[in-house]
């Protein structure tokens, strides 16, 4: 062993034997063999945009009493929102459980096209809700 100082970059014979040099193997970045191709992606099924058939409309007129609560069945019949497209709620019926008749002429508006919905049926609520 020598008593002379060594630089930081020089290794003593004992240190060279104690610390083996590590070698990093290069990673294989090539594509996998062609005999195992990934499965083809299947396209997502298209959403059915065909509206349901229109419901039967009432043959007579529905008369509402003024200042009365009703449960009302309605349907949107808007075939053209103004841009050539039908309303997404076209021919879709909905029940509004509490509709106030106002002066006997309730108006229900479609939230998708902002047009009046057609009233199919109305049932007077019994008992009438009490508003405080």
Q: What is the pLDDT of residues 12-49, one digit of tens each?
A: 555 555 556 666 766 666 665 556 666 777 777 776 66
As a three-state string, the secondary structure of 29-68 is: CCCCCCCCCCCCCCCCCCCCCCCCCCCCCCCCCCCCCCCC
Instruction: Please give the residue that has the higher pLDDT: either 61 or 115.
Output: 115
Instruction: Please give the residue that has the higher pLDDT: either 15 or 131.
Output: 131
Q: What is the pLDDT of residues 76-119, one digit of tens each?
A: 999 998 888 999 999 999 999 999 999 999 999 999 999 999 99
Three-class SS state of 83: coil
DSSP state of 109: B
Q: Residue 29: what pLDDT?
A: 65
Q: Residue 52: what pLDDT?
A: 82
Three-class SS state of 16: helix
Spans of all domains in the chain: 69-124
Three-class SS state of 94: strand
Q: Residue 115: what pLDDT?
A: 95
CA angle 84, 87, 88 (to 5 degrees): 125
Q: Residue 31: what pLDDT?
A: 60
Distance from C-alpha of 83 to C-alpha of 89, rounded to nearest angstrom:
15
Instruction: Please give the residue that has the higher pLDDT: either 89 or 4.
Output: 89
Contacts of 67 (CB under 8 A, 6+ apart): 100, 101, 102, 103
Token readout for 55 is: 């419901």
Three-class SS state of 75: strand
Look at residues 84, 63, 77 and name the one whose alpha carbon lies nearest to residue 109.
77
Q: Residue 58: what pLDDT?
A: 81
pTM: 0.60
């Amino acid at each position: 062993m020598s008593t002379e100082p060594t630089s930081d970059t020089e290794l003593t014979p004992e240190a060279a034997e104690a610390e083996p040099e590590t070698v990093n193997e290069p990673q294989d970045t090539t594509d996998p063999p062609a005999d195992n191709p990934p499965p083809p992606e299947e396209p997502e099924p298209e959403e059915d945009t065909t509206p349901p058939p229109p419901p039967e409309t009432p043959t007579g007129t529905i008369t509402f009493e003024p200042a009365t609560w009703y449960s009302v069945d309605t349907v949107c019949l808007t075939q053209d929102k103004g841009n050539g497209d039908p309303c997404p709620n076209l021919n879709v019926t909905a029940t509004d459980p509490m509709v106030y008749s106002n002066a006997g002429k309730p108006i229900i508006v479609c939230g998708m096209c902002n047009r009046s919905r057609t009233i199919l049926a109305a049932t007077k609520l019994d008992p009438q809700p009490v508003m405080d």
